[in-house]
Amino acid sequence: MNGTKPVPSTAKRWLSWVAARSRRAKFLFVLGCIVLAETLWAAVTYWNGLEGKPELLAYRLCVGQEQRLCPSDATFVRNEGEDTVTRWAQKECASYKARRIVISDGPAKECDCYVADVKCSSE
């Protein structure tokens, strides 16, 4: 013998079935397998709740007149009156179901600003 292993009968039948099909039939078969796999994946992620996890977006805002005086970890928002944070949150969280605003620090003398935490959530 030349050292090759004989092909099992199951594999021979599979190869002959594939060889007998047209290029179009092979393409449609592969495409069907892909669609089936994606459908199964969507079902599994839905049942496991991966799609249903709430999304949360959090901002730390510095509301004042000068950005250079604000803390480095905060997003600067120019103070335009009493409803500055509310209007900013409505604009930034427009695609979310809920908004929560917490004014964490009152006006500070060194920067004439205040810090607010804004959270946008999908639930």
Parse the chain into domains and list their residue ranges: 9-47, 56-121
Q: What is the pLDDT of residue 105?
A: 62
Q: What is the pLDDT of residue 34?
A: 95
Mention every residue, 6+ apart, whose C-beta is less than 8 A from residue 62. Answer: 70, 71, 74, 75, 76, 77, 111, 113, 114, 115
Helices marked H in 1-123 — which ranges?
Answer: 9-19, 23-47, 84-92
Mean pLDDT by 10 residues, the chain (123 residues): 66 78 88 94 78 77 88 88 89 86 73 86 80
